[in-house]
Amino acid sequence: MTHPASQEVQSPLVVGVGASAGGLEAFQSLLTALGDSPGFAVVFVQHLDPNSKSLLPQLSQNITPMPVVEISGRKKLKRNTVYVSPPQSLLELKNGFVQIVEPAEERHPAVIDHFFHSIAEDTGARGIGVILSGGGTDGTLGLKAISDRGGLTFAQEPRSASHDSMPRSAATTGVADHVLVPAEIAAELLLYVRHLDVLTEQRHAHDADSIIARLERELETTRSDLDRTLQDMEAANEELKSSNAELLSMNDELQSANEELETSKEEIRAGNDTLSVAIADLENLLRSTQIATVFLDDQLQIRSFTPAISDIYGLIPTDVGRPLERFVPFVDDMPPLPNPKELTLRGSIEHKVHANNGETYLRRVLPYRSHTGTSEGMVCTFTNVTDLTESEELFQLLIDASSQMVWVTNSEGKAVDDSPGWREFTGQTFDE
């Protein structure tokens, strides 16, 4: 599939891919999923011994229909082309040309960081960076540079990498917009280019005719794909019927079951839509609330949290799944989390805590109840009670300074405070 809208731009989108140990296999998976014309230029930079001979162009030719070019001298980047850096070479991108440069210092430079910084400088928001399998942290600072200029950044899902140091560094520092396996990275890249194409077409269209025509073409293509799919399914169905005579006698029953499945599918779809709306409402509620809240599972690991928790813990989205007790709170003398059995018996446990920002919070810990009513963790909320605390302290000062006889009771009628004037009048101590 070509991308006419993106081709209107003189310089193509540039996707920089950095890897080290184990990165070749991940890069091959990425290229296979991209197909023959993704609509952008791919530049691959890999840590290799400077004396080794790169086999990457030959290997890449076997798994991608796109041209594969090993960089030498100065080359103008073209769409739908894969460019491969020689072993341990320092690349720079300038004005749409990529070239090999000499390092400014004798020590081995971070080749991926260097190239990613040049992508950020040369292409700005049109730059894209991808970190695959490898050891060390090379590429993390480069991804940050691309992200700071408005570009798109990816890191390979560390569990899918044979060497996870490089992608894990990018993921845990928060500089990667997406953390995915190589095939999913390819899918996101194709969607991103398609999205840019649509925006460009809409921006340059004088009327809606071109958009309608494009949609009609896509609809016709979809119909053709569906027709081919149905034909393939019918052919497979005939083969199955011819290979198993017993299925012929069950055809009516299968048809009836299929109708029931269609009905169930509609019901499931309706239920999924309702669930999606409920989930979206809940996510918006959590984002909009000003109460700092963190949800923990039965292992006291983070399920989710509201943005306001940043006043108490410096959590980021990649901290989900980690134990809360490993994080140092911005609070003096934070009480430890209660024992789950004690919490289940008491229902909730409250403590006042004083944050480093001068605010006072009421920490309330409650059991996390599942849809069956069982306890499957904890919910910790931090309610800002600074104004209430200051009012209580002011009220106490007024009581202590008052010459009047004052006493305060709770909802059960028990005295919880009194003034010195009351004690002098009655001759009783506070305990009495």
CATH number of 288-384: 3.30.450.20
Q: Do domains 4-201 and 288-384 have the same CATH topology?
A: no
For every residue of 353-383, DSSP letters joined together read EEETTS-EEEEEEEEEE-TTS-EEEEEEEEE
The band of 429, judged by pLDDT with boundaries at 50, 70 and 90, is low
Annotated catalytic residue, options 3, 6, 29, 47: 47
pLDDT at 41 over 50: yes
Does the active-site annotation cover 138? yes
Structure pTM? 0.47
What residue ranges do the domains of the chain occupy? 4-201, 288-384, 388-426
Annotated catalytic residue, options 6, 20, 89, 133: 20
Contact 133, 167 (CB under 8 A): yes
- Predicted confidence at residue 168, as pLDDT, reads 95
Averaged pLDDT for residues 250-264:
81
Cα 408 to Cα 395, 399, 413, 415, 429, distances in angstroms:
11, 10, 9, 6, 15
For every residue of 58-125, DSSP letters joined together read HHHHTT-SS-EEE--SEEE--TTEEEEPPTT-EEEEETTEEEEE--SSSSPP-HHHHHHHHHHHHHGG
- Predicted confidence at residue 6, as pLDDT, reads 42
CATH number of 4-201: 3.40.50.180
Annotated catalytic residue, options 3, 29, 118, 138: 138
Contact 148, 119 (CB under 8 A): no
Averaged pLDDT for residues 155-174:
94
User: pLDDT digit string (tens) for 165-205?
Assistant: 999 999 999 999 999 999 999 999 999 999 988 888 888 77
Would you give the end-to-end CA distance of the chain in angstroms? Answer: 88
Classify strands 375-384 and 360-369 as parallel, antiparallel or unpaired.
Answer: antiparallel
Give CA 413 to chain center in angstroms: 53
Taking CB atoms within 8 Å and a gap of at least 24, the contacts of 388-396 are 389/352, 389/360
Averaged pLDDT for residues 298-302:
91
- Predicted confidence at residue 1, as pLDDT, reads 46
pLDDT at 123 over 70: yes
User: pLDDT digit string (tens) for 57-69?
Assistant: 555 567 888 989 8
Cα 238 to Cα 233, 244, 255, 300, 415, distances in angstroms:
9, 10, 15, 55, 87
Contact 286, 379 (CB under 8 A): no
User: pLDDT digit string (tens) for 207-252?
Assistant: 667 777 788 888 888 788 878 888 888 887 788 787 776 766 777 7
Greatest alpha-carbon pair distance for the chain in Å reads 105
Does the active-site annotation cover 20? yes
User: pLDDT digit string (tens) for 7-31?
Assistant: 444 578 999 999 988 888 899 999 9
* Rounded distance between C-alpha atoms, residue 291 and residue 337, angstroms: 19
Nearest Cα neighbor of 384 from 353, 349, 356 is: 353
Cα 155 to Cα 39, 134, 185, 288, distances in angstroms:
21, 11, 8, 29
* Rounded distance between C-alpha atoms, residue 141 and residue 130, angstroms: 12
Contacts of residue 5, Cβ cutoff 8 Å, sequence gap at least 6: 196, 197, 198, 200, 201, 204
